[in-house]
Every structure is written in C-alpha cells, then in structure tokens.
Amino acid sequence: MLSMLAKLLKALNSETNPSQISLAFILGMILGFTPLLSIHNILVVFLALVLRINLTGFILAWGFFSGFAYLLDPAFIALGESLLNNPDLVAMWTSMYHSDAWRVTRFNNTLVLGSLLISLALALPLFFIFNLLIKQYRERIYAWVQKTKLMQVLKASKLFHIYSALDRGGLV
Amino acid sequence: MNKWIRWPGLIAFVLLFGTLFVFGYFFATSFVKNSIEDYGSEAVGAQVNVDSVNLTVSPLGMRVNRLQVTNPDAPMTNAVEIQGMAFELAFWNLLMGQVIIDEMSVDGIRFNTPRSSSGAIAKKAEPESKEPSLMDEIKGELPTADEIMARETLLTEVRSEELKTLYEQHSKILDESKTGLMDQKQLEAYQAEITKLTTEKLESLEDFNKRKERLSEINKELKKEKEKIAQAKSAYSTAYKELSEKLKEVKSAPSEDLANLKSKYSLDEGGATNITRLLFGNEAGEWTETGLAWYEKAKPYLEATQEEEVKEVERQGGRYIHFGGVESLPDFLLREARMDIVLAAGHLDGKLKDVTHQPEILGRPITLSINGTQLKGYDSMHLNAEFNHIDPKNAFDKAEFKVKKMEINQFKVSGNESFKLSLDKAKADITGTALIKNGKLKMKVDTLFSEAQFKSGATSGTAKQIGQLLETIHQFTITVNAKGNLKSLDTSFDSSLDSEMKKALNAKIDAKQAELEAQLKAKLQAKLTESTGSYSEDLNATLAGDGGLDAKQKQLEELAKAKLNSWEDQQKAELEAQKKAEKQKAKKEAEQKAKEKLKSLGF
C-alpha cells in the first residue's frame, strides 16, 4: 500500500500527462461505484490495461471509490428506481429488456443502472477537475509542500524511503 | 496514437481473462463435485458421493456420473443412487448471474442400493427411542392388562408423580417455615417470666422500668414469633390448597385412565379398529415416518427465499425490475428434469418441473409427476405432487397417488411366535392424497384389498379365532387418516375388517373386555396405592391440620395481652390501701369507743 502511494506521488510529481492520471481515476471510479461483476466492467478493465494510464492511480481510485460506494448506494438505487419506473422510459426499457445482449448488462438492476449513470455523468467533469487539480498541485502545492514541516517529517518516514528507493531504481 | 495505447496491456488483458477461463474450466468440475458432496451431505446427514463430473464447453453443459445418497439410518445402503445426470446451461443467463437449466436427464434412479463403504458421517448421537412398537408387543392374545399398562402413559402414574413432587416441594417449604418456631417449653418459660414480671410487687421505680423494658423485649420477640407463625400458616394454607387439588386429581386418575384405555382398546364400536392398527399400523407408521423424514430434509429447499442473516457488511444489491414480454427468471432454475426410476417392478418415468429456490420470482410451483405402466406386479402407478411456495404466507405441498392392482405376496403381518399371520396373496388398489400446509399434514390413504388370502399360525385363544376369521375374508378396505403436526401425527385406521371381526367375535369380545376392564381397574388402583403409599401418611397428616400453629398463635396472643402496672399506680394503690386501713382502724376505734360508752351508760 505504501509503495502504491509512493508510486502515485511519483506520478503526480513527474512529467506524466495529467490526463493519464485523471483517466485512471475516472476508470477506477466507474469500477468502484458499480457492482464489480457487471459486464461493463470488463470494458473498464480492458481500457485500463490498453490505454496508457497510470495503473497505480486506477487501482487506488478503485479501492477508494469502492469504499465510497457504500455511502452512495442508496442514491444509486433511488436513481435506478426512478429511471426504471419512469413511465416515459418504460417503452425503451421494455425494448432493451427483450434483447439478450442488453439484459446481460443487467441494466434493469436499480443499483447497476443508477451507479453506472452517476459514474458516467461524473466522469467528464471529474476528468477536467482532476486535470486541473493535478496541474495546480504541480505548479503551486508541490513546491509549497516540499517546504512544509510535515513534508520534512515525511521525508524521514518509511513512505519517503520507499518513494526514494523506487525513484532511484527507476521503478516509478 | 502510441502515446495513448499500451499494446502490452492488450496482452495482459487477454492473459488475465484467458487464465480465468482456463482456471474455471479445469476447476469447475471439482468445484461442482465438491459442492454437491458437501452441501448434499450436510442436508442429508450422511455421505453424498459423486464419481465424477464432466464439463462440456459447446454447448455449455455438465454431466454428473453416479451420484450416491446414503441412507442416514443405514450407512451401508444408498437411499438413492443415480447413474447419471446431464444438463445444459443457458449461456446468456449465466452471464447475467443466473443458472438456468432448460432440460436435465436423470438416468437410472435406484433406491436402497448397497454401498461398498459406509456412508456415515460423524454426528451427534441421538437417543434412540426405546418404545416398543405395537407389533413387537402383540402376542397370541389381545393385549393383556399388563401389556396395556406398560405400553400406555397412565394419568395415574403421571399425576401421582406430580403429587409426589408437589408434596416434596411443600414439605421442604413447611419444614423450613417451622424451623426456628418456639417450642412449648420456650412458650411456657415466657409465660412464667411474664407472670413474674406482672404479678410480683414492684420494689422501686427502677425495678418498674427494668420490668417494663423486659416486657417490651418479650413483646417484640413474641411479635416476631407471631409473624413467623403467620408465614408458616400461609405456607400451610397454600400447601393444603394445592395438595388437596392434586390429590383430587390423583384419585380421579384411575377412572379416567380406565375410560381412556377402554376407548382405545375395547373391542366394541371404534375400538375394533385397533385390530387393524395392531396388524397394519406399524407398516403404515414406518412408511409415513420415512416419507416425512425425507420431506423434512427437502423442505428448506422448497421454501421461498428467506432473508438470510447478513454475516458481513455487503453492498446493497438493488433490485431487478422486470418488464413484460420476457419470463422473470430466478437465480437458479431447472425447467424440466426427466427421470428414469428403476424399481424391481420395472421402470418409472418421472418429470420434475420448475425447480428453484425462488418460486416467488418464477411464479410457478415445483411439480413432480411419476408414472409407471406395464410393471411387474402392478397394473399402474401414478404420483402427482406440487410444491407451491410462490406466496410464502399461503405455501402448501400436496400430492396424490394411485396404485392399481399391486400384487401382494407373502406379506408378513405378524411374525410373533404365538400369533403368526401373513397375507399370502392379495391385490391392492391404493389411492391417497396428502396436503401439508402451515406445518400440518392432512393425509388420507384408501386401500382396497381384493383376492386376499390370510394365513394364520395362531393355535389357541383369541388369536386363533382372529386368524380363522381373517382366513375367511378375501376382500377388505383399510383407510388411514393422518393429520396434525408433522412431528406428532394423529393417525386413525378405519377398516372393513373391524366390522367383520366385531360380528364374529362379539361375545368373546364382551367377556374379554369385561375381564380386561376388571384387571385394569385393579391394576390402576394398585398403581395408585404404590405411587402414593410411601408418603400417604405424611400427606394425610399435612392435610389434616396445620401442625398446632393455631394453638400456638392463640397462646401468643394471650401472652401479648399481659400488662405491667405503673410505679405511680402501685404507689397510689398502696397509699389508698394505707388510708383505707387507717380509716377502718379509726372506724373500729370509734365503734369500740361507742360500745364502751354505751356500756358505761348501762346498755
């Protein structure tokens, strides 16, 4: 876990394109928010592996958003319920329901639909927000953080040693 | 492009899912085999074994080879052995997390096959019932008074035991409440002290105060004693009430027992059915018990899904909303299983439909039908059953069966030495219905026996008479009714044999019954005496009085009335006595003077 955090810090502090880190966070969020054994998550894992994104960021985001999902589940379910029961959409759901391929996606499950739609809705704005935050971090916070007492303490910590070791070994 | 695409990632993806697939393919068979064996063994309470499991990919399916389900009561025998089961899984549904089997073929179902090794599994030893069966007890004659007494749970015994326990409880309480009460000597000592304190002359004010203080102490002690006596009296009163009531029940028990036994064993009216019960009851009882035991094992899997206890924190699952036009499917569904059941009589065809643990989603009950024709020793055999748990509140299971012309050969009705009876030959038409709802069974089985040939080996007594009579009967019916809780069924037997018997044996029965009644009466009385004999005197003594508590209480009340005159009162009394004495003295002196004066005047 510490080495993963160190890798993430390394990526944040490196010249890695912020979009690659942001996209990793977004894919991790989709995987974390939606039920794991859903067919769309095969696509998410495929994209995470095939696209040149930061895998450490993806895994950490998955873990973080999985935990967060426990709190958001009622909201996901409520959204799924309201959409699936919306009379204006019933015709569409029914035609999708008649297709085996659509049913395999488990779209008619309130949690799957609610969590996936919320994840997708959040994906784009969060992508830009993460991008912005990473840039801001690198431009302003990184330099300031380096000077803080906390960073001095951290530099003496195990995490920093791992980070340094990885950095020296070119592992990150 | 290459800035955003990581080609090795594609290889990693293929490797990841390829590994999962290969792992699944190779381990699915052992997973299925172990699951069947582990869950099966746990459910049955004895080993369930599978020889092997084969997986086919296209079409996706499975074959389970030789499934053996051990009979938990006979570990060297399989209750069921299935040669093979083959089925295909719906691939799309599997992707949706549903195991849907459209058709399954189950071949070579055999019952009671021998095992090569014991199929017992370690389990907690359950105490075996030592109650003798009716057939074990039947002897050449009808049951004797001793046999009946031994067989039946008698109210006389039960109530006597209850009385004994109650008496022991109350004896203990009474003994405890009497412990520490003053005895007569102590009371007399108090009496003497009180008399002394209240009657002897006070010497001084100090003497008065001392006596007053002592008297007050005595009063306090007496008050405490009175409270103790009141408690003891209350205990006596409770004991008297409860023991009297129980004794009344005990005294009435022999007559109630006699009435019960007469109704159950007498051979008049409904009592004659006991002959049928004695002859066929055990067999019917065993079949019913076996059937219900297997039903109990299967029951948890028939019921609609219950909310399971959440053992760890899990994400909420949401719910599936189903839209019209497509069948709602549960997580597991076996649409149809075709079964080939192999009996000694031949093959039966079975069809099991809509097996699921979520019938409320499917909206259809599990159904089972078994049919057999052209069987050796039977004309035909049909069973239809429905396990309907769609609405958990109104769940029920029902079955109806029909067996035509079942040939009976050398059926041993009684193997008892002095009452050998066999049904050498007969044909039976059996129809039955059973309904289980809310844990209660209602079952009726009608059997018509035709071309019957009884053979009796009884050589003397009533048994011989019954045997001879049965040999003349070639057609009879037996109706078995069972109802009530699955674990305590109330069964009744109705048979045309009974009326036949009644006609033939009326006189004998009356005499026998009178004799039996007299014996039972005497034995019940003896049982009562025996049960209450050891403590009856003490019990009578307890009920006769309150152990002298009343007298003691009165004595204490008298003692408590004693009062000490005050010092001032005593002084006043003395002064008044002195004045009175002086007055009398003066009076006497005056009289004396007057007399002397009169004398001097010549009177």
pLDDT at position A47, please?
Answer: 93
Tell me how close the Cα of B314 comes to any Cα of chain A, in angstroms.
8
Residues of B with CB under 8 A from a CB of A: 3-7, 9-10, 12-13, 16-17, 92, 95-97, 313, 315-326
Tell me how close the Cα of B331 comes to any Cα of chain A, in angstroms.
13
Chosen for mutation from A41, A42, A45, A49 (greatest number of chain B CBs closer than 10 Å) is: A49
| ∠ Cα B54 B59 B63 (to 5°) | 25
CB contact under 8 A, A49 and B9: yes
pLDDT at position A159, please?
Answer: 65
pLDDT at position B122, please?
Answer: 73
B328 interaction partners in chain A (CB closer than 8 Å): none
Given a cut of 80, is residue A5 above it in pLDDT? no
Tell me how close the Cα of A148 comes to any Cα of chain B, in angstroms.
35
CB contact under 8 A, B96 and A104: yes
- Residue closest to B372 by CA, chosen among B336, B346, B398, B399: B346
pLDDT at position B532, please?
Answer: 67
Tell me how close the Cα of A138 comes to any Cα of chain B, in angstroms.
21
Share of chain B above pLDDT 70, in %: 82
Chosen for mutation from B7, B94, B316 (greatest number of chain A CBs closer than 10 Å) is: B316
CB contact under 8 A, A108 and B321: yes
A172's CB contacts (< 8 A; 6+ apart) are A6, A7, A10, A11, A14, A163, A166
Higher-pLDDT residue of B154 and B124 is: B154
Distances (CA, A) of B214 to B191, B219, B267, B453, B592: 13, 9, 80, 99, 49
- Residue closest to B338 by CA, chosen among B110, B105, B81, B519: B105
Specify the DSSP class assigned to residue B270: G
Which one of A39, A93, A109 has the shortest CB-CB distance to B323? A93
User: Which segment of A60-69, B135-144, B170-179, B410-419 scores lowest on mean pLDDT?
Assistant: B135-144
In which band, very low, low, confident or very high, does the pLDDT at B72 lie, cut at 50, 70 and 90?
A: confident
B321 interaction partners in chain A (CB closer than 8 Å): 81, 84-85, 93, 108-110
Share of chain A above pLDDT 90, in %: 53
Query: Which chain A residue lies closest to B327 (C-alpha atoms)?
Result: A98
Instruction: Say if residues B464 and B458 touch (Cβ distance below 8 Å).
Output: yes
Q: Which two tokens stand for residue B207?
A: 């003497």
In which band, very low, low, confident or very high, does the pLDDT at B125 lie, cut at 50, 70 and 90?
A: low
| B367-382 tens-digit pLDDT | 999 998 888 888 889 9
In this predicted complex, what is the ipTM?
A: 0.78
DSSP A45-75: HHHHHHB---HHHHHHHHHHHHHHHHHHHHH
Higher-pLDDT residue of A118 and A137 is: A118
Given a cut of 90, is residue B285 above it in pLDDT? no
Query: Which chain A residue lies closest to B326 (C-alpha atoms)?
Result: A98
Mean pLDDT of the B454-467 span: 74
CB contact under 8 A, A97 and B9: no
Share of chain B above pLDDT 90, in %: 16
Which one of A46, A100, A111 has the shortest CB-CB distance to B92? A100
CB contact under 8 A, A94 and B325: yes
* Residues forming beta bridges with residue B67, ordered by sequence position: B50, B82
Distances (CA, A) of A87 to A81, A82, A96, A137: 12, 10, 15, 46
B10 interaction partners in chain A (CB closer than 8 Å): 49-50
B13 interaction partners in chain A (CB closer than 8 Å): 45-46, 49-50
How far from the centroid of its chain's Cα atoms is residue B127's Cα?
Answer: 15
Mean pLDDT of the B265-280 span: 54
pLDDT at position A160, please?
Answer: 66
| B25-47 tens-digit pLDDT | 888 888 888 988 998 888 888 89
Residue that the structure tokens 């018990």 belong to: B289
CB contact under 8 A, B96 and A50: no
Which one of A42, A98, A112 has the shortest CB-CB distance to B325? A98
Please report, to the nearest 10 degrees, the dihedral formed by the alpha carbons of residues B249, B484, B360, A34 taken in order.
Answer: 50
Coil, strand or helix at B508:
helix
Query: Which chain A residue lies closest to B96 (C-alpha atoms)?
Result: A104
CB contact under 8 A, B315 and A94: no
| B467-514 tens-digit pLDDT | 777 888 888 888 888 888 877 778 888 888 777 776 766 666 667 667
Which one of B4, B92, B320 has the shortest CB-CB distance to A109? B320
Distance CA B308, CA B331 (A): 15
A90 interaction partners in chain B (CB closer than 8 Å): 323
Mean pLDDT of the B430-440 span: 91
Tell me how close the Cα of B289 comes to any Cα of chain A, in angstroms.
45
- Residue closest to B494 by CA, chosen among B345, B271, B190, B282: B271
Query: Which chain B residue lies closest to A80 (C-alpha atoms)?
Result: B318
Rg (CA), chain A: 20
User: Which segment of B64-68, B339-343, B594-598 scores lowest on mean pLDDT?
Assistant: B594-598
Query: Which chain B residue lies closest to A20 (C-alpha atoms)?
Result: B4
| B550-580 tens-digit pLDDT | 777 787 787 777 776 666 777 787 788 888 9
A39 interaction partners in chain B (CB closer than 8 Å): 95
Given a cut of 50, is residue B59 above it in pLDDT? yes
Instruction: Say if residues B27 and A68 touch (Cβ distance below 8 Å).
Output: no
| B537-558 tens-digit pLDDT | 777 777 666 667 777 778 778 7
| B393-407 tens-digit pLDDT | 889 999 999 999 988
Tell me how close the Cα of B91 comes to any Cα of chain A, in angstroms.
10
Provide the number of CB pairs (under 8 Å) joining chain A to chain B: 87
Chosen for mutation from B96, B310, B331, B361 (greatest number of chain A CBs closer than 10 Å) is: B96
Specify the DSSP class assigned to residue B5: B
DSSP B341-405: EEETTEEEEEEEEEE-S-HHHH-S-EEEEEEEEEETTEEEEEEEEEEE-SSGGG-EEEEEEEEEE
CB contact under 8 A, B321 and A76: no
Which one of B10, B318, B325 has the shortest CB-CB distance to A109? B318
pLDDT at position B462, please?
Answer: 65
Distance CA B151, CA B61 (A): 57
Chosen for mutation from A20, A44, A53, A84 (greatest number of chain B CBs closer than 10 Å) is: A84
Residues of A with CB under 8 A from a CB of B: 35, 37, 39, 42, 45-46, 48-52, 69-70, 73-74, 76-77, 80-81, 84-85, 90, 93-94, 97-98, 100, 103-104, 106, 108-112, 114
Which one of A51, A93, A110 has the shortest CB-CB distance to B5? A51
A48 interaction partners in chain B (CB closer than 8 Å): 9
CB contact under 8 A, A108 and B318: no
Distance CA B83, CA B65 (A): 6
Higher-pLDDT residue of A132 and B331 is: A132
- What is the pTM for the complete model shown? 0.55
pLDDT at position B139, please?
Answer: 40
A157's CB contacts (< 8 A; 6+ apart) are none
pLDDT at position B499, please?
Answer: 75
Specify the DSSP class assigned to residue B201: P
Tell me how close the Cα of B483 comes to any Cα of chain A, in angstroms.
45
Mean pLDDT of the B241-262 span: 81
A84 interaction partners in chain B (CB closer than 8 Å): 321
Instruction: Say if residues B267 and B505 touch (Cβ distance below 8 Å).
Output: yes
pLDDT at position B275, please?
Answer: 60
Distance CA B79, CA B71 (A): 4
Given a cut of 70, is residue B137 above it in pLDDT? no
Distance CA B358, CA B389 (A): 9
Mean pLDDT for all residues in chain B = 80
DSSP chain A: -HHHHHHHHHHHHSS--HHHHHHHHHHHHHHHHS-SS-THHHHHHHHHHHB---HHHHHHHHHHHHHHHHHHHHHHHHHHHHHHT-TTTHHHHHHHHT-HHHHHTTTTBHHHHHHHHHHHHHHHHHHHHHHHHHHHIIIIIHHHHHHSHHHHHHHTSHHHHHHHHHHHHT--
